[in-house]
């Protein structure tokens, strides 16, 4: 059944696929240190057995990492956010379940190859990064500091800019540790939503340039995330398929629930699963500040989302079992504490 692969029994789009399961052991860190600035939490070792039950295709991680509240879960100590931002990855990647991370800061400002290399130097060879394209490419509007749109962005989906300011620095800095390039299209104004052909043409040109830049890096996944439900349809599928790109599930109230997004992955099958579990739907489309206030200090599950977890776990199990890569990153805003959400998601994924 296609429901085995994608977590729900949905209208048939593709032929059935057989599913197999594998297991893996997390390799010991190969990163050499003189003295760790951030120590890993010893309690994380209790999760190693669970990590070894996951398919080697599955990589789960957080959406960012500089949270003092993860003391005892990821860190062994009460570190300040600045220290964790600079040095926390060295401890983070030693957690058995955390085999990826989303570099979210690249969305707000382009990073240099040396900045990416500094991240890569803190993790071992098995680790992979999910990196977001800067908003200067993926937002159709230029925004002020508070997020208010000021004017149209002349560089929206500019192919050359996407390669020069995002793809190439990420490749140069992360090398083989680059896993996924995410192009998150910010909510679009009506002048773009009202002329979708122009949008698809611009996206097509950009993805063609991105794929050309990745010609020697076939393992890197290119994923497009949208923030407008109107864009979920065959036209998006066609553009993605033309450039061997995938659809990134964006789990938050601005988009439909996960089960209504999974048909796009069915239409692109076979292919990877890339998912960003960003915000619990109870907070609404613009409830990030409310979630942060209610969930701080991010050390416990506050608003459990059993439905999303169950559907996502079934999709992860099926897609990985069919031999496809799975990347899932989770925010504290999803349930209150990303590391515990990841643990429970992993448990749901390995359950029969």
Q: What is the pLDDT of residues 67-111, one digit of tens each?
A: 999 999 999 999 999 999 999 999 999 999 999 999 989 988 999
Residue 215 phi, psi (nearest 5): -55, -30
Q: Does residue 28 carry a pLDDT above 50? A: no
Closest CA to 220 of 283, 265, 168, 292: 168
DSSP symbol at 231? G
Q: Does residue 25 carry a pLDDT above 70? A: no
Give per-residue pLDDT as tens, 206-219: 999 999 999 999 99
Residues 6+ apart with CB under 8 A from 211: 222, 243, 244, 245
Q: Does residue 18 carry a pLDDT above 80? A: no
- In this prediction, residue 146 carries a pLDDT of 74
- In this prediction, residue 6 carries a pLDDT of 64
Within 18-122, residue ranges assigned H as helices are 48-53, 81-92, 113-120
**Could you tell me the pTM of the whole model?**
0.90
Tell me the pLDDT band of 144, cut-offs 50, 70 and 90. Answer: confident
In whole angstroms, what separates CA 203 from the centre of its chain?
20
d(CA 27, CA 63): 22
Give per-residue pLDDT as tens, 235-254: 999 999 999 999 999 999 99
**Structure tokens that stand for 176 in this block:** 């083989």
- In this prediction, residue 32 carries a pLDDT of 37
- CATH pick for 2-7+36-350 out of 3.20.20.410, 2.170.8.10, 3.40.50.150, 3.40.50.720: 3.20.20.410
Tell me the pLDDT band of 147, cut-offs 50, 70 and 90. Answer: confident
Give per-residue pLDDT as tens, 320-333: 999 999 999 999 99
The rounded percent of the chain whose pLDDT value lies above 90 is: 84
Mean pLDDT over the full length of the chain = 90
Q: Does residue 9 carry a pLDDT above 60? A: no
């Amino acid at each position: 059944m296609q429901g085995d692969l994608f977590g729900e029994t949905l209208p048939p789009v593709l032929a059935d696929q057989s599913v197999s399961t594998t297991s893996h052991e997390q390799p010991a860190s190969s990163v050499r240190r003189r003295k760790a600035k951030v120590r890993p939490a010893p309690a994380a070792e209790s999760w190693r057995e669970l990590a070894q039950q996951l398919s080697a295709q599955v990589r789960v991680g957080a959406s960012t990492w500089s949270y003092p509240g993860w003391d005892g879960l990821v860190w062994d100590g009460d570190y300040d956010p600045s220290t964790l931002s600079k040095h926390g990855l060295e401890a983070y990647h030693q957690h058995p379940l955390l085999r990826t991370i989303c570099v979210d800061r690249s969305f707000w400002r382009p990073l240099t190859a040396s900045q990416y290399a500094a991240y890569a130097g803190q993790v071992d060879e098995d680790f992979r990064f999910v990196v977001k394209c800067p908003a200067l490419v993926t937002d159709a509007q230029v925004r002020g500091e508070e997020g208010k749109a000021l004017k149209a962005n002349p560089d929206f989906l500019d192919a050359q800019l996407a390669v020069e300011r995002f793809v190439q620095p990420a490749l140069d800095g992360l090398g083989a540790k680059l896993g996924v390039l995410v192009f998150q299209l910010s909510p679009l104004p009506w002048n773009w939503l009202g002329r979708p052909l122009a949008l698809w043409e611009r996206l097509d040109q950009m993805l063609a340039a991105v794929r050309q830049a990745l010609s020697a890096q076939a393992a890197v996944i290119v994923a497009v995330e949208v923030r407008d439900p109107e864009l979920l349809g065959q036209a998006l599928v066609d553009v993605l398929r033309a450039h061997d790109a995938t659809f990134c599930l964006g789990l938050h109230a601005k988009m439909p629930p996960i089960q209504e997004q999974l048909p796009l992955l069915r239409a692109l099958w076979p292919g990877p699963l890339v998912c960003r579990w960003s915000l619990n739907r109870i907070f609404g489309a613009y409830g990030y500040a409310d979630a942060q206030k209610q969930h701080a200090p991010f050390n416990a599950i506050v608003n459990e989302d059993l439905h999303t977890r169950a559907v996502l776990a079934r999709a992860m199990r099926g897609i990985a079992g069919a031999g496809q890569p799975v990347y899932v990153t989770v925010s504290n805003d999803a349930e209150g504490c990303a590391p515990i959400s990841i643990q429970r998601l992993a448990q749901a994924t390995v359950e029969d």
